[in-house]
């Protein structure tokens, strides 16, 4: 059954869109990532214009994150205080990112910048997580007790403005989370994503938050950042397609619900391993696209 999307200006099969939304929602629920880094390229693939895909994804990601985070609230796996600190940084970062985005757009190489930042980020994050998850899995397999984690006092602990983050069991400076928030905000404005796939490892490896609160907190943070991004796109570019978003989110929220239930049953090591594999797969795909000779070297675009 075809449905016409008024802003995108095309018609697509409604069940295909349900499916896309469901798949991305599932990942969102399992991993605590918004899924924007998958949804946006998938929408390009089915023919949605890139500008509309980016803006509408942001809107859809927010919906599935709201759906998923409510489950985490109920299980008390959201560090609200940490989330608010990250969101404050995220808003500042998103505004900075918009400035960078607009100045680079006038140079005409924004696509390349987006691709390269995806590859660099996904590659480094993916390799890091993969290595870590692999050792963790091997350890679990040999049935060894994990080495007692020393409370290494790094810069996260020595900076001023320390606050207690009860849900995470941390007593650290607020400066690192704010900085992480700013970086995520900049990236999400430039790359049109929620930033969960960077935020999750950042919380684990930089802030040393326990894995069980990481996903809920990440989702909580994504809600505000993706909401702000969607609103900015709607106001400045008129590219949020509400019909597309609604169809996607009906699939997405359902997927997110199934995902959170599924995620609670999987072990933390397995989760990290799967997420790392996913991140690396997307990274490889993007790298191949840049390196291999394109079958059609020409592309059409609206004049600058």
Smaller CB distance to another protein: residue 104 or 250?
A: 250
Nearest approach, Cβ of residue 92 and another protein (Å): 20
Specify whether the CB–CB gap between 69 and 152 falls below 8 A: no
Q: Binding of another protein at residue 152 (CB under 8 A)?
A: no
- DSSP structure string for 116-175: HHHHHHHHHHHHHHHHHHHHHHHHHHTTPPPPPPP----HHHHSSSEEEEGGGTEEEESH
Stretch touching another protein by CB under 8 A, among 37-45, 168-176, 253-261, 272-280: 253-261
Q: Which of 87, 218, 221, 254 binds another protein (CB under 8 A)?
A: 254
In the shown chain, the binding pattern of residues 6 to 45 toward another protein, with x for contact by CB under 8 A and - for none, equals xx-xxx----------------------------------
With H, G, I as helix, E, B as strand and everything else as coil, classify residue 285. Answer: helix
Q: Binding of another protein at residue 75 (CB under 8 A)?
A: no
Tokens of 170: 């941390």
Q: Binding of another protein at residue 285 (CB under 8 A)?
A: no
Phi, psi of 142 (to 5 degrees): -75, 0
Q: Which of 40, 57, 67, 217 binds another protein (CB under 8 A)?
A: 67
In the numeric block, the tokens 């660099």 are attached to 120
Specify whether the CB–CB gap between 44 and 84 falls below 8 A: no
Q: Which of 64, 168, 188, 221 binds another protein (CB under 8 A)?
A: 64
Specify whether the CB–CB gap between 193 and 120 falls below 8 A: no
Stretch touching another protein by CB under 8 A, among 32-40, 70-78, 171-179, 272-280: 70-78
Q: Binding of another protein at residue 184 (CB under 8 A)?
A: no
Nearest approach, Cβ of residue 4 and another protein (Å): 4
Q: Which of 128, 137, 243, 264 binds another protein (CB under 8 A)?
A: 243
Task: Supply the Cα-derived Rg of the chain in whole angstroms.
Answer: 19
Nearest approach, Cβ of residue 232 and another protein (Å): 8
Smaller CB distance to another protein: residue 125 or 256?
A: 256
With H, G, I as helix, E, B as strand and everything else as coil, classify residue 197. Answer: helix
Q: Which of 63, 94, 193, 209 binds another protein (CB under 8 A)?
A: 63
How far is it, in rounded angstroms, from Cα 37 to Cα 52?
Answer: 15
Smaller CB distance to another protein: residue 211 or 246?
A: 246
Tokens of 11: 């018609």
Q: Binding of another protein at residue 70 (CB under 8 A)?
A: yes
How far is it, in rounded angstroms, from Cα 141 to Cα 161?
Answer: 41
- Per-residue CA distances from 189 to 193, 249, 298 (Å): 7, 21, 27
Nearest approach, Cβ of residue 59 and another protein (Å): 5
CA neighbor of 244 nearest in space, from 259, 229, 224, 230: 230
Smaller CB distance to another protein: residue 13 or 166?
A: 13
Q: Binding of another protein at residue 52 (CB under 8 A)?
A: no
Cβ atoms < 10 Å from Cβ of 11 = 12
Question: Which residues make up the interface to another protein (CB under 8 A)?
Answer: 1-4, 6-7, 9-11, 47, 59-60, 62-68, 70-71, 74, 108-109, 111-112, 227, 230-231, 233-236, 238, 240, 242-243, 245-246, 249-250, 253-254, 256-257, 289-294, 296-304
């Amino acid at each position: 059954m075809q449905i016409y999307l008024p802003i995108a200006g095309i018609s697509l099969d409604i069940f295909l869109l349900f499916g896309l939304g469901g798949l991305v929602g599932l990942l969102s629920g399992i991993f605590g990532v918004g899924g924007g880094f998958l949804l946006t390229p998938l929408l390009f693939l089915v023919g949605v214009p890139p500008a509309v895909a980016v803006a509408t994804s942001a809107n859809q990601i927010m919906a599935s994150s709201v759906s998923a985070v409510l489950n985490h609230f109920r299980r008390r796996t959201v560090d609200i205080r940490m989330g608010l600190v990250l969101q404050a940084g995220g808003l500042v970062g998103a505004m900075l990112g918009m400035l960078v985005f607009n100045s680079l757009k006038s140079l005409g190489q924004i696509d390349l910048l987006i691709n390269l930042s995806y590859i660099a980020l996904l590659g480094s994050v993916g390799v890091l997580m993969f290595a870590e998850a692999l050792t963790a899995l091997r350890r679990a397999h040999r049935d060894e007790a994990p080495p007692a984690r020393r409370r290494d006092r790094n810069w996260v602990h020595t900076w001023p403005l320390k606050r207690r983050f009860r849900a995470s069991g941390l007593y650290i400076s607020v400066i690192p989370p704010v900085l992480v928030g700013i970086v995520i905000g900049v990236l999400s404005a430039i790359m049109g994503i929620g930033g969960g796939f960077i935020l999750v490892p950042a919380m684990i490896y930089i802030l040393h938050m326990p894995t069980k609160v990481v996903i809920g907190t990440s989702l909580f943070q994504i809600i505000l950042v993706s909401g702000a991004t969607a609103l900015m796109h709607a106001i400045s570019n008129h590219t949020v397609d509400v019909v597309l978003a609604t169809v996607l989110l009906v699939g997405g929220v359902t997927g997110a619900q199934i995902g959170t239930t599924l995620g609670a049953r999987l072990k933390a090591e397995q989760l990290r391993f799967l997420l790392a594999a996913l991140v690396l797969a997307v990274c490889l795909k993007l790298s191949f696209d840049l390196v291999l000779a394109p079958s059609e070297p020409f592309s059409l675009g609206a004049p600058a």
